[in-house]
Amino acid sequence: MKLIYYLLFTGLILIGCSKNREVITITESRDANENAELFVSARSSSERFASNFGNDNHTGHDHDHSGNPFDWALPEGWHEKPETQMRLINLGIGSNFDAECYVSVLQGAGGGLAANINRWRSQMLLEPLSNEDIAGLPKKTLLGQDAVFTKFSGAFRGMGDDDYKQDYMLVGLILEHKGISIFIKMIGPQTVLEHELDNFEVFSKSLKLKDVSHNNSKPNTRSEIKKSIEFTWQVPGHWIEQVEQKMRMATYKIGPVPNAECYVVMLPGDAGGVSANINRWFKQMGHTINSTQLHDHVREIEILKSEAKLVEIRGDYTDMSGEHFNDFMMIGVIFSFKNSMIFIKMTGPESIIKKERQNFLTFCNSFDVL
């Protein structure tokens, strides 16, 4: 991931930030219209990851990958398979059942470059590489940046395999990109993959992140109650519901204002940890922050009877597609629920987000368990 680091300005003022870890109790709420219709506006993260793409045997051209944050060109002889929980793109290679290529995305560094490369090597019964060896690995272009390229041969054992498969090859690319880590991995018999290296490069060079800023939207003319598999929540009347997006439970545009939105994400486990994600948010706003400053700028609120971390940041925002916006503001909340982490995040021009602060807090407070 190529992150742009800036010095944290001494005079940075964060709305609602305090050196005391103050607990905020939100008392304001809005009653939903009695006739507000309950309907499913989002799916749980497990459903989103497991959505059935269906097999698509058309080859050699771009596809319409609705609902996926990526788009790509499918090489000749490759075919699309259903997504899985950990694979945003899942591709079969030719008629060989054991040859496949897939793309996974993790928040943050995803455990780190060295750990992931050596994990792949352990799957191939190979010795780990030193940091010096890893620094010398070749690079290939992914999303316009230099990604680390690996190609190993050996005996392979996958997650569900009982025994090692002999004479296998693993080809991979790893890129840390704007708060996420992207992994492309091709695995299969060596005799097959030796003829697929050009196709691997065709696929990886074609991969791109979609611009989701112009999605169709559905106006929301009154305060409404929405629900997912896990929760219900109440939406401010002037927020506009957006079409479903991969990895998001819900997305709302803040009225007619361009580039102002609020969205909800649910990820399994600790999703990299609270501190790492808050640091990532600061970096998105053009700042770096140390552990002491992090403590100073995090407040606590209560959501679903649990402690949630709240941060409010002003700065110049860089979104997931790399587009920059000056004079922005971000308000974000992170809290744990069962074995998952919930992220509620609102970004947009500072003048708008300051006015929407109470609506955001009311929205967070409206979450209830089904």
What are the tens digits of pLDDT across the range 250-300? 899 987 777 899 999 988 888 888 888 999 999 999 988 777 777 778 899
The strand pairing partners of 318, in sequence order, are: 324
Band (215; pLDDT cuts 50, 70, 90): very low
Query: Is residue 22 scored above 50 in pLDDT?
Result: no
Residue extent(s) of CATH 3.40.1000.10 domains in the chain: 23-46+213-369, 70-209
Q: Which helix (H) or strand (E) holds 206?
A: helix 197-206
58-94 pLDDT tens trace: 344 445 566 678 889 999 999 998 877 678 899 999 8
Rounded Cα distance between 182 and 232, Å, is 32
Q: Which helix (H) or strand (E) holds 266?
A: strand 261-268
Band (153; pLDDT cuts 50, 70, 90): very high
pLDDT at 176: 86
Query: Is residue 11 scored above 70 in pLDDT?
Result: no
The CATH number corresponding to 70-209 among 1.10.3720.10, 3.30.70.2660, 3.40.1000.10, 3.40.50.300 equals 3.40.1000.10
pLDDT at 65: 62
Phi, psi of 179 (to 5 degrees): 90, 0
Rounded Cα distance between 327 and 345, Å, is 17
Band (140; pLDDT cuts 50, 70, 90): very high
The fold adopted by the segment(s) 23-46+213-369 is Protein Transport Mog1p; Chain A (3.40.1000)
Question: What is the arithmetic mean of pLDDT over 190-219?
Answer: 78
Share of the chain above pLDDT 70, in %: 75
Q: Are 83 and 89 in contact (CB under 8 A)?
A: yes
pLDDT at 160: 66
**Average confidence score pLDDT of the chain:** 77
pLDDT at 163: 84
Q: How far lies 206's CA from each of 65, 87, 92, 178, 289, in Å?
A: 13, 17, 17, 19, 35
Rounded Cα distance between 256 and 236, Å, is 13
pLDDT at 53: 30
Query: Is residue 51 scored above 50 in pLDDT?
Result: no
Rounded Cα distance between 363 and 29, Å, is 8
| Nearest Cα to Cα of residue 309 among 295, 320, 325 | 295
299-338 pLDDT tens trace: 999 898 889 999 999 999 988 777 888 999 999 999 998 8
pLDDT at 206: 93
Name the more confident of 224 and 115.
115
Question: What is the arithmetic mean of pLDDT over 138-152?
Answer: 93
pLDDT at 45: 32
